[in-house]
């Protein structure tokens, strides 16, 4: 019998499940439509049924635990707390509920910390004891690993770099404040920067041929690669903000590597080049040359499930 962990990635529209072995190979997969379950209790019943169905179809596998990645998840308490894009309101003790329903050891953390664990157990960070991962998607998630352990802090919510204020009185953030790093250093931030450059400058740009909603981070990256000045400036300013976040983070955890993951990181050297250059320029001189900025080693489509399963696999090692 091959031992596997169920990696469960709970998203606002879809929950993805994968049976992951100790080497990070996914042996079976399944889905649940998250918004179909108005109550977390109903979701847990459906999850239990789905896991049993997947086990029945894979008789050679032995399920030993469940790792969950979810928005606003608290590792310390085993809860999901006030998640804006889920229907379950208030504080949901999802770990206790899942353990009672399935009889299996269950752990939960937020998506970015799951990404950090995935990187540590299965990805590029194997053997790296001090690192930071930045997930550059719609927002900016981050996971801090110090001496081989994810930093959760007193509340369980530590290390949310996306909400470090980098411009006081700056752009409005979803958290209700202004000037948070993720309003600049994310796919959404890149689009906001491009739109403001388009309105402030007179340069020709292929982006001007697009309707507002068609201006996506991917289109901007493509335009920049094709030589578009506005797109290049937008990408450059975004890289500088990412580098500012890195320079500030290096001060308090002195990582060996900063991994960049997610949609924006796919821009490749066009992003990594300027991020490395600006991080070197902005960081306190004593740290210059002490860290590397590298791409994640996890395949993007599998990373969330691998990371969630790593919550359990880490405890087994
Ligand atoms: Zn914020």
How much distance in Å is there from the Cα of 31 to the middle of ligand 1? Answer: 31
- Looking at the chain, the domain(s) classified CATH 3.30.420.40 span 2-118+300-316, 128-295
Q: Report residue 75: phi and psi, to 5°.
A: -60, -45
The pLDDT score that the predictor gives to residue 163 is 95
How much distance in Å is there from the Cα of 73 to the middle of ligand 1? Answer: 17
CA dihedral 134, 305, 63, 2 (to 10 degrees): -90
d(C-alpha 234, C-alpha 204), whole Å: 14
Q: Report residue 309: phi and psi, to 5°.
A: -65, -30
How much distance in Å is there from the Cα of 171 to the middle of ligand 1? Answer: 9
What CATH number was assigned to the domain covering residues 2-118+300-316?
3.30.420.40
Choices 3.30.420.40, 3.40.50.970, 3.40.109.10, 3.90.1300.10: CATH for 128-295: 3.30.420.40
Q: What is the DSSP letter of 21?
A: -
The pLDDT score that the predictor gives to residue 83 is 87
How much distance in Å is there from the Cα of 85 to the middle of ligand 1? Answer: 16
The whole model's pTM is what? 0.92
Cβ contact 258:225 at 8 Å? no
| Three-state DSSP state, 64 | strand
d(C-alpha 291, C-alpha 208), whole Å: 38
Q: What is the DSSP letter of 124?
A: T
The pLDDT score that the predictor gives to residue 8 is 98
Query: Model confidence over 78-95: pLDDT tens digits?
Result: 999 998 889 999 999 999
The pLDDT score that the predictor gives to residue 60 is 94
How much distance in Å is there from the Cα of 176 to the middle of ligand 1? Answer: 6
Q: Report residue 117: phi and psi, to 5°.
A: -65, -40
The pLDDT score that the predictor gives to residue 312 is 98
The pLDDT score that the predictor gives to residue 317 is 74
The pLDDT score that the predictor gives to residue 84 is 83
Here the tokens at position 3 are 């031992």
Ranges of residues in the chain whose predicted pLDDT is under 70: none
How much distance in Å is there from the Cα of 160 to the middle of ligand 1? Answer: 9
How much distance in Å is there from the Cα of 180 to the middle of ligand 1? Answer: 5
Query: Model confidence over 176-232: pLDDT tens digits?
Result: 999 999 999 999 999 999 999 999 999 999 999 998 889 999 999 999 999 999 999
Cβ contact 181:161 at 8 Å? yes
| Three-state DSSP state, 161 | helix
How much distance in Å is there from the Cα of 78 to the middle of ligand 1? Answer: 23
How much distance in Å is there from the Cα of 113 to the middle of ligand 1? Answer: 18
The pLDDT score that the predictor gives to residue 300 is 86
């Amino acid at each position: 019998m091959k031992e596997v962990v169920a990696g469960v990635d709970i998203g606002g529209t879809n929950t993805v499940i994968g049976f992951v072995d100790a080497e990070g190979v996914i042996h079976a997969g399944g889905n649940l439509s998250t918004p179909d379950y108005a109550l977390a209790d109903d979701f847990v019943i459906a999850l239990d049924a789905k896991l049993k169905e997947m086990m029945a179809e894979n008789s050679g596998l032995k399920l030993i635990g469940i790792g969950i990645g979810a928005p606003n998840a608290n590792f310390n308490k085993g809860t999901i707390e006030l998640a804006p894009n889920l229907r379950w309101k208030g504080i949901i003790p999802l770990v206790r509920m899942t353990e009672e329903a399935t009889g299996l050891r269950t752990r939960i953390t937020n998506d970015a910390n799951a990404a950090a664990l995935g990187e540590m157990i299965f990805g590029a960070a194997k053997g790296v004891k001090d690192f930071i991962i930045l997930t550059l998607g719609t927002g900016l998630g981050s996971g801090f690993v110090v001496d081989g352990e994810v930093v959760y802090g007193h509340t369980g919510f530590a290390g949310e770099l996306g909400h470090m204020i980098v411009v006081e009185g700056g752009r409005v953030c979803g958290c209700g404040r202004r000037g948070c790093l993720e309003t600049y250093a994310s796919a959404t931030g890149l689009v906001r920067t491009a739109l403001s450059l388009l309105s402030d400058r007179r340069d020709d740009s292929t982006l001007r041929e697009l309707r507002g909603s068609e201006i996506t981070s991917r289109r901007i990256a493509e335009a920049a690669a094709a030589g578009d000045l506005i797109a290049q400036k937008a990408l450059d300013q975004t890289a500088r903000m990412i580098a500012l976040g890195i320079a500030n983070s290096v001060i308090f955890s002195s990582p060996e590597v900063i991994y960049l993951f997610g949609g924006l990181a796919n821009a490749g050297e066009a992003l990594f080049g300027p991020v490395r250059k600006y991080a070197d320029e902005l960081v306190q001189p004593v740290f210059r040359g002490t860290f590397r900025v590298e791409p994640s080693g996890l395949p993007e489509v599998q990373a969330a499930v691998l990371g969630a399963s790593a919550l359990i696999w880490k405890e087994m090692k």
